[in-house]
Amino acid sequence: MSTKGTTDPTDPTHTDEKTKKTDTDVLVIGAGPTGLLLAGDLAAAGLRVTLVERRAPGISNLTRAFSVHARTLEQLDARGLADELVATGTPVADLRLFGRLTLDLSALPSRFPFLLLTPQYEVERLLERRARTTGVDFRYATELRALRQDTDTVTAELATGGTLRARYLVGADGVHSSVRTALGLPFPGASVIRSMVLADVRLTQEPGKLLTVTVTAADDAFAFVAPFGDGWYRVMGWDRTHQADDTGPVGLDDVRAITRRALGSDLGMHDARWVSRFHSDERQAPAYRSGRVFLAGDAAHVHSPAGGQGMNTGLQDAANLSWKLAAVLRGEARNPEALLDSYQAERHPVGATVLRSSGTLVRLAMAHTPLQRTARTLATRLLGTVRPVATRAMGQISGIGITYASGARRAPDEPLREGRLYEALRAGEFVLIAPEGRTPPLPPTAPVTPTRLIRTTWADPTRRDTALIRPDGYTTPLKP
């Protein structure tokens, strides 16, 4: 049941005054994975969405991401994309760290108990296709110059001239976010590691272990090799004795030299299609929301590549924010401001945790003093021998173990009489699961009054509980 007196923007006759004043309901800046997922969700919810991207159409968005964790695959499963993405890459169940520790991801309680190695452009390809199918208006070769907002709208001034007015705006435009700059928000932090090299190459020799972070005996270099599954490999390396500026020249010979130091062989790498040198920062914006403007993905937080959590964290930001914006814009939120504020309350602590965990991993890999080496040995031993610690670490890195202070927990992919839970979530709505023969009303503590609630039944006839699952696959605590 919709809130009394609220019009539905998905209705073609919807012409309330706020809609008349705007060009779009939500303006998303940045067409990377975070912006694409967010825009696709909002358009699928029947909203008008415009996606602005500074790149020209057809220009590849070359980035460092190459791994998709279990929780992200669950989010993609809720959008009907996970199985197609898995087919593009290589699932890896074992992660080896520092040559001493193996984390067994096959124990994860998920339909996807592995880390999927696949290039970021495969993720973007699927998300862009979905965004176009749902009706997102793409504006390429367009850049934000400034923005201003009032009580009802956000106005974006474009570098190409002209303006776009929206009910809300989301900055998903990366570490150098023009949205964050326009808001005047700080981005405190520092570089955690400099002069890392990246390359996509072909090999004549298969690496012995997949995703093994190998550190030299002198702790002055490390490297690892990850297969994409199509004959190409991603190589990442760092050498303490050879620190160069990011803007300096870098070639395949540099990558070979670091790999030989760390792995004892360059594995016959050749035919590099991409080589770069970069530094990695640890930064986080203090606020993910400023009035009608939000930050998501690398615009809100950036951290070391250790653990492969960057793109994954951004995609989960988008999944968290999209349903909240949709509920507010469709007039279904019981308390719109509180619901929008919950994005900061839920996702900012996650970003901070990822900063700490990824930073710890890269500092352990770089350890070279006796004290640092001792700390790495103790950490490795703890993770390798204390099962609850290892389980918690895998849950955090994979995203499976994320729980919000609000009480919302990740919902497992429960079997239902109608199929699987994550199949039911593909409608983009709340899912109410009840025992057979019961149709309980939505409690007043639910955050929304959805007009399109999906009602389902437990496959297990002995279950007598009721669960309300948010569109992002998290439970909503139900209180009488």
**pLDDT per residue over 174-183, tens digit each?**
999 999 999 9
* Spatial contact of 439 and 423, defined as CB atoms under 8 Å apart: no
Strand pairing class (115-117; 67-68) = antiparallel
Report residue 202: phi and psi, to 5°. -105, 155
Say what the pTM is. 0.88
Q: Which two tokens stand for residue 32?
A: 């990377």
Lowest mean pLDDT among 19-23, 32-36, 239-243, 375-379: 375-379
Buried residues in 87-122 as b, exposed as e (16+ CB within 10 A) = ebbbbbbebbbbeebbbebeebebebbbbbbbbbbb
Q: At what angle do helices 310-329 and 336-365 cross, to 10 degrees?
A: 180
pLDDT at 63 over 80: no
Q: Mean pLDDT score of the chain, rounded to an integer?
A: 86
- Strand-pairing partners, residue 78, are none
Taking 60 as the threshold, does the pLDDT of residue 217 lie above it?
no
How far CA 341 is from CA of 57, 241, 265, 308, 319, in Å, comes to: 34, 46, 51, 28, 15
Among 207-216, 267-276, 435-444, where is mean pLDDT lowest? 207-216
Task: Report how far residue 292's alpha carbon sits from residue 148's, in angstroms, rounded to the nearest whole number.
Answer: 10
Kindly give, in sequence order, each residue whose CB lies less than 8 Å from that of residue 152, ignoring residues fewer than 6 positions away: 18, 21, 167
